[in-house]
Amino acid sequence: MKLKNKIHISSTLLMLVILVVLAVVIYFSFSRLTYSTEVTQLQTETNALVAEFNKVERTDPSTVLRAYVPVDGIVQVTTPDNKKMSPIQSPSVTIELPTDLEEQSGTLTIKGKQFAYVKAPLIWTDGDVAEVTVAQSLHETTNNLTTLRLVLLVGTLIAMIPVVISSIVLGKIVTLPITNLTTTMTRIQRNGKFEKLLIERDSHDELAQMGSTFNEMISLLEENYSKQEEFVSNASHELKTPLTVIGSYAKLLQRQGMQDKEIAEESIAAIRAETDRMKALIDRLLHIARRSESYVDWTEVDAYSLLEQTVTAMNTAYDREFKLVAKKELLPIVTDVEKFKQLLYILLDNARKYSSDKVEVIVEQNDHLAIRICDRGIGIPKESVPFVFERFYRVDKARSRDTGGFGLGLSLAKQLADSLQISIKLESIEHVGTTVSLVFTEDFNVEEVYSKQEGL
């Protein structure tokens, strides 16, 4: 069953139940009040009868009793010896009162007709105390209540007309955004094109929020899809260049390289260089691709010892001055040793590539442990700083190619920092230098990775 039909049926049934319950409560409350009023009125008339009867001569009691017979009523006297006198009643009343009336007043049903009755003591003609029972037909009251039932029934049916119409309109209003959402999703699935829903700006209800959330999700998917396309395009472009070089030198070797030793050696060297470059690129791409499925082996280690090993290795490998500056020689942390060392190698290698002076690794521990890798190199332009963690982003493509960069190092460093729950921050001034900070929070919850330029 469709949602709008469920809303229509459920709201209609709910309103019908409410109206029926309300009508029943009104009817029974009104009928009870009406019967009670009739009984009270009959009680008053009976009291007047008794008072008048006790005042007059008792030679002919029927005279007084006849004067107080209610319209469509009956007066019955029962003597002290439990004998019933002949009832005095209206011509329209043909019933006999039962002898087993337990209550002093109330209503009773005789032959399908409602009567109100009242019993009262009466001093009879011989001075004994008799009992008088006065009853009155409730025919008019019953007719009025029948009319009330009919009015309530018709009123309920008439009230259901706008309820049915409003439930149909409500069902359409509620399901229209959902229908639009489903239609849009089906169209996206069929056409492969991202679309957004039209949302009324003045509306702030849940349906509008659902539409806004859907549009935000579509924007995110579109952005990720664009990034994926850009990633594939950039990767293809980066792979195409070395393959073109390799192909060109292979053709050169095929044409004349075998006879010319110098050209052969040049070609082989170029092919090896481009092969190594392509291998490095593929390794970086594999690191990035495996990020989501990588396992983090948390271990408590000494950060100072890891930093010292890394700095020593970099000094030996590149014959450059990498200086470790730390006030303490014991810095316990919980991390994945291999990933942490890989993160340090990426940042130190970047600092080495883009500076000719020494590279300092400064350890600070105030509220949190912070490791700052500082170089005095060419720095990064202000407008490029916010994008340096994006894949394949290179500040200067020519400069990156000279240094063998692909624009993947900092992107991989960001991912490693994320997996190790380390906050990473980059500050740079062009022609002055760059500082990359790794900050360990107390609970090792990663803060949002961000970058900024000094002076901003």
Asked if residue 318 and residue 392 are part of one domain, the reply reads: yes
Residue 163 lies in a domain: no
Residue 12: inside a domain: yes
- Domain assignment present for 53: yes
Q: Of 289, 324, 345, which residue constitutes the final position of a domain?
A: 289
From 123, 126, 96, 122, select the one nearest 111 (Cα to Cα): 96
Q: State whether residue 400 is helix, strand or coil.
A: helix
User: Residue 120: which of 42, 237, 216 has the closest Cα?
Assistant: 42
Half-sphere exposure of 16 (CA within 13 A, CB side): 11
Tell me what pLDDT residue 399 has. 54
Q: Are residues 97 and 218 in the same domain?
A: no
Side chain identity at residue 76, one-letter code = Q
Domain with 364 in it: what CATH number?
3.30.565.10
Judgement on whether residues 368 and 434 belong to the same structural domain of the protein: yes
| Residue 94 neighbours by CB distance under 10 Å | 9
Both tokens assigned to 399? 């400069």
CATH number at residue 51: 3.30.450
Phi-psi group of 421: left, alpha or beta (phi > 0 → left; psi -120 to 50 → alpha; rest → beta): left
Tell me: do 397 and 326 sit in the same domain.
yes
- 211: CATH: 1.10.287.130
Q: How far apart are CA 414 and CA 288, in angstroms?
A: 10
Residues 433 and 341 in one domain: yes
162 in a structural domain: no
Asked if 271 and 356 sit in the same domain, the reply is no
In a domain, 220, yes or no: yes
Q: 33 and 125 share a domain?
A: yes
Same domain, 239 and 340: no
Same domain? 322 vs 244: no
241 domain-assigned: yes
Residues of the chain with pLDDT under 70: 56-59, 201-202, 257, 288-294, 396-406, 442-456
Number of domain units in the chain: 3
Residue-range definition of the domain harbouring residue 369: 299-440
Residue 450, pLDDT score: 44
Whether 62 and 122 share a structural domain: yes
Reference 35, options 109, 88, 111, 119; nearest CA is 109
Do 114 and 24 share a structural domain? yes
For residue 425, tell me if it sits in a domain: yes
For residues 160 and 163, give the distance between their C-alpha atoms in angstroms, rounded to a whole number. 5
d(CA 437, CA 418): 14
CA 41 from chain centre, in angstroms, equals: 62
Same domain assignment for residues 61 and 137: yes
| Cα separation, 130 vs 132, whole angstroms | 7
**In this structure, is residue 182 part of a structural domain?**
no
Last residue of a domain, one of 110, 136, 153: 153
Determine the Cα–Cα distance for residues 249 and 263; give it in Å rounded to an integer.
9
Residue where a domain stops, chosen among 270, 289, 308: 289
Distance between CA atoms of residues 107 and 113, nearest Å: 10
